[in-house]
Amino acid sequence: MVKQEIFKEEINYIKSATIRNSAKALVDAIPDYFFEEAASSTGKYHPAYSLGKGGLLRHTKAAVRIAKELLDDPVIGNKYTTREKDLMIVALIMHDSFKRGVIPEKYTRADHPLIAANFIYEHKDEFSLSEEDALFLQKAIASHMGPWNTDYQGVEILPVPKTKWENFVHMCDYLASRKCLLVPFDEQNHITV
Ligand SMILES: [Fe+2]
């Protein structure tokens, strides 16, 4: 499986060649199960297109596309630098990448934002990420769940978004999980519009 090919469109949204190369290496590190997984096993929390085989991939692509659409509007996009926009796209590509852990477990890990965030930070050299960029990604990914920051027992385990970049990443993930917003996909998991 050529993982970079699957995320080709999303990687091409990234303007900086350096960050684009890091994104390619990051995408290659996404566990295989991610590409088969549904975004929600119950269907309770996600729109129809993100259910079933490949649902998590489609959810991720929808979140990235929502970011791209918002950032293309200068009233919204001009509030961020090109680097910040690039890194928010990378954060969204990677936000659910370790949903069932580094070594696949049976169920979704409530702390999956921290697993992805820390994996990227700890391996930053392998992904050719600067300390600053790795920290940006770590924070944005760790807080992407927004107010849903507890484990299954209700204990707070995740940070909530604090900066405008963390807010933006959470907002895009949140919009991509709304049942009223349907993104059209073809059989190859490409967005058709
Ligand atoms: Fe998500």
Question: Of 23-27, 42-46, 108-112, which has the strongest mean pLDDT?
Answer: 23-27
Give tens-digit pLDDT for 99-153.
999 999 999 999 999 999 999 999 999 999 999 999 999 999 999 999 999 999 9
Q: How many domains does the chain have?
A: 1
Q: What is the mean pLDDT of residues 163-172?
A: 98
Q: Is the pLDDT of residue 1 over 70?
A: no
> How far does residue 25's CA lie from ligand 1's centre (Å)?
20
What whole-number distance in Å separates Cα of residue 183 and Cα of residue 67? 13
**Residue whose C-alpha is closest to residue 172's, from 70, 90, 81, 78:** 70
Q: What is the domain-level CATH number for residue 106?
A: 1.10.3210
Task: Specify if 166 maps to a domain.
Answer: yes
Q: pLDDT-derived band of residue 44, with 50, 70 and 90 as boundaries?
A: confident
> How far does residue 179's CA lie from ligand 1's centre (Å)?
13
> How far does residue 95's CA lie from ligand 1's centre (Å)?
6
Give tens-digit pLDDT for 3-23.
999 999 999 999 999 999 999
Q: Is the pLDDT of residue 169 over 90?
A: yes
> How far does residue 79's CA lie from ligand 1's centre (Å)?
23
> How far does residue 128's CA lie from ligand 1's centre (Å)?
25
> How far does residue 173's CA lie from ligand 1's centre (Å)?
5
**Nearby residues for ligand 1 (ion, Cβ within 5 Å):** 96, 173
Query: Residues 7-15: contacts with CB within 8 Å, 24+ apart?
Result: 7/61, 7/93, 9/61, 9/190, 9/191, 10/61, 10/64, 10/65, 10/89, 10/93, 11/93, 13/64, 13/68, 13/89, 14/86, 14/89, 14/90, 15/82, 15/85, 15/86
Task: Specify if 187 maps to a domain.
Answer: no
> How far does residue 90's CA lie from ligand 1's centre (Å)?
13
> How far does residue 59's CA lie from ligand 1's centre (Å)?
7
**Looking at this protein, which amino acid is placed at residue 184?**
P
Q: What pLDDT is stored for residue 109 in this prediction?
A: 92
Rg (CA), the chain: 15
Task: Specify if 66 maps to a domain.
Answer: yes
Q: Percent of the chain, pLDDT > 70? A: 99
Task: Specify if 140 maps to a domain.
Answer: yes
- What domain range is 14 assigned to? 3-175
Chain CA centroid to CA 183, Å: 16
What is each CA distance from 127 to 51, 105, 134, 174, in whole angstroms? Answer: 30, 25, 9, 27
Q: What is the mean pLDDT of residues 171-177?
A: 98
> How far does residue 54's CA lie from ligand 1's centre (Å)?
13
Task: Specify if 190 maps to a domain.
Answer: no
Q: Is the pLDDT of residue 90 over 80?
A: yes
> How far does residue 40's CA lie from ligand 1's centre (Å)?
10
Task: Specify if 111 maps to a domain.
Answer: yes
What whole-number distance in Å separates Cα of residue 133 and Cα of residue 117? 12
What whole-number distance in Å separates Cα of residue 147 and Cα of residue 170? 9
Task: Specify if 145 maps to a domain.
Answer: yes
* Ramachandran sector of residue 107 (left: φ over 0; alpha: ψ -120 to 50; beta: rest): beta
> How far does residue 12's CA lie from ligand 1's centre (Å)?
20
Q: Is the pLDDT of residue 158 over 70?
A: yes
Task: Specify if 182 maps to a domain.
Answer: no
Backbone φ and ψ for 182, nearest 5 degrees, come out as -105, 125
> How far does residue 60's CA lie from ligand 1's centre (Å)?
6
Mean pLDDT, all residues of the chain = 96
